[in-house]
Amino acid sequence: MDYNVSNLPTEQDKLAFIGWFLFAGTLILFAAVSKNGLFLLLALFAAFIGGVLELWHRLGPRGVSIKQQTLPGRVTIGEDFALEIAVENRKRLPMPWIEVTCEISVDIPLLKQTAQSSYKAGKMDLISAFSLWSMERIRRKFMFHATKRGYFIYGPVTVRMSDPFGWKVREIRLLRSANAGVIIYPKVMDVELFNLPARSPLGELKPYRRFLEDPLKVTGVREYIIGDDPRRIHWKNTARAGALRSKIYDSSNDIDLLIALNVTTNPQIAMGYDENLLELAITFAASISEWALEQKHSVGLLANCLLQSIQHVISEDTLLMDEPLTELTDTRLTYVPIGRDSVQGERILSALARLLAIWGSSMHLRLENIQKELPIGATILYVGAIRALNDDIVEQLFAMQRAGMGVILALTGEPDEEIQIYTGSIPIYHIGGTELWNIINGKPDEK
């Protein structure tokens, strides 16, 4: 964001170089007593130096703006993006030295350039020095490689500036509004990679209840049944057959799919979580949501974890609309309502990118609380680790089945892991474990 560094001097800033003026005054006294013109010249020179230093110290920050933005503001793991830092001097007074220090994450590697270590854990300092003439603007780009999903903030920003002689450095820490950020989406893979058939990854998905019929799509004619709406009668066919005939409307084949992602990867929360299985589940959720949206299905996302809030405004060239950002930022637990508009994919990917491995609620309670909000006949795709599947979750899934919803299990785990609880007739897909995640992550030799 564009941030103006202009700071009015505080009380301690006033006459920061008062020593020069006192020295000049002392020399004037010597000149008056000794009647020596050399002391007067030295006094004028000291006053001039003090005036120049005071001028840069007081007016230096005025008219200086710092703008940071990531280009683009949304990327996928494996892609490169740029952090652009623009410094502008909007006044006549030149700025001989400005140093901009931006905190960056150690998880996202900097390409070509180097950054300095920071005293903060997980952070590094990206330092840039500028020299600007009056009314000049300088832009610099730093390239990064996205290696990890998440929402990463570039900032806070600290600006240091000095007078032409470098005798006094002024340091200003900018507000949060000067920060830039990037959302790194998880990878979207072909569904075949998860041991699913390409044509029907989740089997023959069908609406579990067909209550909606399209009156504009007539697929045939049948005999009239007492109670049929008069508008349903096919009068031309009735005239030919000599008996009442009713139209057969096309039933809606749209699927309402809710991806229920369980971030817990162990039976107990105290046991921590398996990062490989969690990231594999997130990648699968991203891949299957993109596939479903391509098939013109309606898709939503539910997770039992917290969602990292967005603390900056993404640059205008990459911002699709404010709605998905506001919608996702205002919820504490992860939930994207079922939909299929043009930005639904962005909403889901953005939520999956910003999932925090912080347990927020039991999965069966999340499913129970959301059940009333789901459309009739929706399909629940439960995604999680085998070892985290428990009786409470399965009982809730059975309850949703009895309510007329479809239920499918997509489970992560190692080849030797088996389901220890009764799942009835719920379809189950084993999508892989650590080995598959290493292949996706480009490290097939790791175990």
Highest mean pLDDT among 31-45, 91-105, 299-313: 91-105
Interatomic CA distance for residues 278 and 263, integer angstroms:
6
Residue type, 381: L
- Is the pLDDT at 138 greater than 90, yes or no? yes
Calculate what percentage of the chain has a pLDDT beyond 70: 83
Q: In CATH, what is the architecture of 191-206+254-440?
A: 3-Layer(aba) Sandwich (3.40)
CA distance 147 to 141: 19
CA 1 vs. chain centroid, Å, equals 17
- What's residue 397's pLDDT? 96
**In whole numbers, what is the pLDDT of the chain averaged over residues?**
82
Confidence class for position 127, pLDDT limits 50, 70, 90: very high
Backbone phi, psi, residue 58, to 5°: -85, -40
Q: Does 321 score more than 70 pLDDT? A: no
Q: What is the DSSP letter of 110?
A: B
CA nearest to 24, candidates 65, 60, 2, 52: 52
- Per-residue DSSP letters for 182-204? EEEEPP---GGGGT--SS-BTBS
On the question of pLDDT at 211 being above 80, the answer is no
pLDDT at 163 over 90: no
CB of 310 within 8 A of CB of 319? no
Residues 6+ apart with CB under 8 A from 355: 261, 263, 282, 303, 305, 307, 308, 334
Residue % of the chain over a pLDDT of 90: 45
Instruction: Give the mean model confidence (pLDDT) for residues 61-76.
Output: 90
Task: Supply the pLDDT for residue 5.
Answer: 57
- Report the alpha-carbon distance of residue 214 to residue 209 in Å, rounded: 15
C-alpha of 15 from chain center: 46
Question: For residue 100, what pLDDT band results from cuts at 50, 70 and 90?
Answer: very high
**Start-to-end C-alpha separation, the chain:** 43
- Determine the pLDDT at residue 447: 55
pLDDT for res 322:
31
Q: Residue 28: name the closest of 42, 18, 14, 17 by CA.
A: 42
Kindly indicate the confidence band of residue 2, based on its pLDDT and cuts at 50, 70 and 90. Answer: low
Tell me what pLDDT residue 331 has.
Answer: 41
Specify whether the CB–CB gap between 389 and 421 falls below 8 A: yes
* DSSP SS3 for 68: strand
Mean pLDDT score, 275-301: 94
Alpha-carbon distances of 260 from 16, 60, 69, 100, 263, rounded to whole Å: 61, 55, 34, 44, 10
Grade residue 12 by pLDDT with cuts at 50, 70 and 90.
Answer: very low
Per-residue pLDDT averaged across 66-76, rounded?
Answer: 92
In this prediction, residue 51 carries a pLDDT of: 75
pLDDT of residue 446: 61
Q: Kindly report which listed range (85-99, 153-167, 307-321, 334-348) carries the lowest average pLDDT score.
A: 307-321
Distance separating alpha carbons of residues 89 and 132, to the nearest angstrom: 7
Q: Confidence band (pLDDT; 50, 70, 90) for 4? A: low
Higher pLDDT, 330 or 347: 347
pLDDT at 10 over 60: no
Greatest mean pLDDT among 37-41, 134-138, 266-270: 134-138
191-210: average pLDDT: 66
Alpha-carbon 329 to chain mean position: 10
Domain 64-185 matching CATH 2.60.40.10: the answer reads yes
Domain ranges of the chain: 2-59, 64-185, 191-206+254-440, 213-251
* Sequential DSSP letters for 213-268: EEEEEEEEEEE--TT--GGGB-HHHHHHHTS-EEEEEEEP---EEEEEE----SSS
Q: How large is the average pLDDT for residues 390-412?
A: 94
| Stretch among 27-31, 92-96, 216-220 having the lowest mean pLDDT | 216-220
**What is the model's pTM?**
0.79
- 64: exposed, middle or buried (Cβ count in 10 Å: 0-12, 13-18, 19+): buried
150 versus 196: the higher-pLDDT residue is 150
Best-predicted range by mean pLDDT (54-58, 355-359, 422-426): 422-426
